[in-house]
Amino acid sequence: MGAARTVTAVVLGALRGAVLSDGEATLGHTQFAATVRSAAAGLVRRGVRPGDVGGVLAPGVIEHAIAVHALTAAGAVPMPLRPDPPDELGAALAGARVLLVDERHAALAMEAAGYSRVRQIFAFGEVPGTTPFGELVSAIPAQLGGALPVHDRAFRSARGDMTHAQRLAHIAELGLLTGIRTADVVVFCSPLCRPELRIGLTDLALTCGAVLVGSAASDLPVVAEEHRATVAVVGAEELPVLLSAVPRQGVSWVAGHVVVTGDPPEDAVALLGRRGVTVTVLT
């Protein structure tokens, strides 16, 4: 496959003003693209080869997007993971050679690696026993371009593998379903949703130039109001928090469109509708 048609090449080529935000950290589209390219070059220098599977255990919006796309740009196959018990996580890592993890889950990742064949763990932060992600980022990004062979698989989850063409088609489908566009500020609060949905929504925000803000469930109302969110992405399990933030008449924050991942109770969806909120359900 030519590099121009990889999902990461398309996403990076389409970046126009997109911003990722997690708490106090913010990453603009230019810095995001440079970080992904540099980290991909670092992964290749560290021995990652086309077709290698790389685990991703980094729930934050910024770190998750960087990890997935750095692996893809290196020709590897990203496999997002949930913070399950070590033995279960180790079993999920079957076939993975490397693991990218945030600082919070580094200890869990190292224990889980003992149940797997993972050879290298890269952590966002300084964690003993891991390689700091910063060491992957070179001063001058390598020109990966078409010189680097790219595996046709672009993503792995419990539902199976996705090709680059399937990932791109999924992003387009999510755009039609959700209507997320350039002017939107999207608050993401659904860390346990299906991995392909999560990265698909992230890439949709990136490619259409939206702002994507990560939030914990408990902070959702405050974060949404602070950023004047127009769209909130929540899991069915987060609906009680969301409902508590929506008064009987109108919404207390700007987000009048809620995208729910999973299988929400019909009465909760109906209640949001009665309170003037547009609801899109992604199962």
**Whether the Cβ atoms of residue 253 and residue 204 lie closer than 8 Å to each other:** no
pLDDT at 192: 78
pLDDT value at 256 more than 90: no
pLDDT at 239: 81
* Cα separation, 119 vs 277, whole angstroms: 47
Q: Do domains 28-161 and 164-282 have the same CATH topology?
A: yes
Task: Tell me the H-state helices in the chain.
Answer: 7-14, 29-45, 61-73, 86-92, 106-113, 164-178, 195-208, 220-226, 239-245, 266-274
Q: Which of 93-97, 208-212, 219-223 has the lowest mean pLDDT?
A: 219-223
153-166 confidence digits (pLDDT tens): 899 988 889 999 99
Domain 164-282, CATH: 3.40.50.980
Nearest 5°: phi and psi at 93?
-85, 5
Average pLDDT over residues 213-226: 88
pLDDT at 149: 52
pLDDT value at 30 more than 80: yes
Domain 28-161 falls in which CATH fold?
Rossmann fold (3.40.50)
Question: Is residue 252 very low, low, confident or very high in pLDDT (cuts 50, 70, 90)?
Answer: low
State the chain's mean pLDDT as an integer.
87
Crossing angle (nearest 10°) for helices 61-73 and 29-45: 50
Average pLDDT over residues 3-27: 85
* Three-state secondary structure call for residue 126: coil
62-95 confidence digits (pLDDT tens): 999 999 999 999 999 999 999 999 999 999 998 8
pLDDT value at 147 more than 60: no
List the domain boundaries for the chain.
28-161, 164-282
pLDDT value at 191 more than 80: no
If one compares 245 and 90, the residue with the highest pLDDT of the two is 90
**Whether the Cβ atoms of residue 48 and residue 74 lie closer than 8 Å to each other:** yes
pLDDT at 40: 94
- Please choose, from the candidates 30, 42, 41, 33, the residue with its C-alpha nearest in 3D space to the C-alpha of residue 12: 33
pLDDT at 74: 93
How much is the pTM?
Answer: 0.91
pLDDT at 245: 66
pLDDT value at 150 more than 90: no
